[in-house]
Structure 1
């Protein structure tokens, strides 16, 4: 029987690669995103159902529910990204004793935007669908190497995601549902850097890996597929780092 799969942020990059993998396996795949045109194009390409949804908005998530399969076997919380790349220059505030109230308010807005996009979105979506998550299913959230590198609000949000996942695994475990995080390093061919990545910085990121190559969306899709497979039923409450050895663990 085909499994029901929800991939948030599934129109491009990592999300699209994950959704394509499951669609190619004959699963019933729903992808979401905020931009209708690329979302519908992706769904047509891979044979999935597209639903426009902002996963930081409770009303939008509630409207999504009737469009989902009654049984969800795999939830992939991929929606997010570093919202600082979308903010106007200086939106983070000047900091220090001389900061104006306006600058501090801008700082708060920018910080909260990253928390909402990368942490709240995953928690809200999981809460909304938890009743239809099937026994033996899997929740896989996409984290980041930034969680361990002190990377501002984005890194804090991804670190919070990993911490939240620990509690989620305890909550879902009695139902036979696993909960894990896949934490990518530098992944090429995505929209993450919004064209802000210079050739020099890209070379630095690749040079910092042990394998001397950029990661690909397919690398992350493979890790997600493993965690959602029968081979990973005893793996939960973990962070699987997929970063080419840029940051190792003992």
Structure 2
């Protein structure tokens, strides 16, 4: 049976890798992004459906949801470090804009998208949100937004579990081949991030994609309300 999969932020990095993994399983995959040309090009390259959508906008989230009849897998992958311009604005206004941007991109995109498709989730559906190791250490407004994502996921899991819907967060560590650092990551910082891991390698987008694929599989039906840390041991739990 063909599954229907929606992946926000699916045009690059982790979201694109997850879309590629589900497409390889012959799922009907929908990816979203904010830039029409990028959405169209990526959808064509992956053989999936492209939807232009800013998931932090309620109207656009609802319009995207309206394209779906039923949804088996939702992956909230939209997010990242927003670029905020300071200009001549007062310091507190700059700070407020930074926090608003991080909350919008890294928390509200998931909340709005999930809520907009909630009545389309079926018994056995999976909701997967992409978190970050930044929620555990010196993450600033970005880390705070990702920590809030995990807290929201726990309550969402309790709400949707009676419908046999699982809800989990994948907390990603340092992942290469993304535009997260906007090209500003130094070689020294790269080495330091790798050194923090136990296995002495950076994560890859495929590490996260395979984890997402597992969480949407029959073998993960009793895993819900969890934050799974995929970081090579850079942050550990017990």
**TM-score interval (norm. to shorter):** over 0.9
1:155 to 143, 149, 158: 143
Q: Is the counterpart of residue 51 in structure 1 residue 51 in structure 2?
A: yes
Q: Is the counterpart of residue 236 in structure 1 residue 235 in structure 2?
A: no
CA distance in 2 between counterparts of 1:123 and 1:217 reads 23
Aligned to 2:14: 14
Partner deviation per Cα, 1:113-155 (whole Å, 9 max, x = no partner) = 1001000110010000000011101000000000000310000
Matches of residues 1-250 of structure 1 in structure 2 within 5 Å? 1-68=1-68, 70-83=69-82, 86-88=83-85, 102-250=90-238
1:105 positional shift: 1.4
CA distance in 1 between counterparts of 2:152 and 2:66 reads 26
**With structure 1 as the length reference, what TM-score do the two structures score?**
0.93
1:65 positional shift: 2.1
Partner deviation per Cα, 1:10-46 (whole Å, 9 max, x = no partner) = 0011000000000010100000011122221111111
CA distance in 1 between counterparts of 2:216 and 2:148 reads 22
Alignment check: 8 A CA contact 2:84 2:97 kept: no
Instruction: Calculate the aligned-residue CA RMSD, in Å.
Output: 1.3
Structure 2's unaligned 5+ residue stretches are none
CA distance in 2 between counterparts of 1:218 and 1:241 reads 15
1:196 positional shift: 1.2
Alignment check: 8 A CA contact 1:24 1:46 kept: no
Structure 1's unaligned 5+ residue stretches are 94-100
* Count of residues in correspondence between the two structures: 238
Alignment check: 8 A CA contact 1:119 1:161 kept: yes
Alignment check: 8 A CA contact 1:145 1:185 kept: yes
Alignment check: 8 A CA contact 1:51 1:67 kept: no
Larger-Rg structure: 1
CA distance in 2 between counterparts of 1:122 and 1:137 reads 16
CA distance in 1 between counterparts of 2:67 and 2:33 reads 14
CA distance in 2 between counterparts of 1:87 and 1:26 reads 39
CA distance in 2 between counterparts of 1:121 and 1:45 reads 25
CA distance in 1 between counterparts of 2:125 and 2:65 reads 18
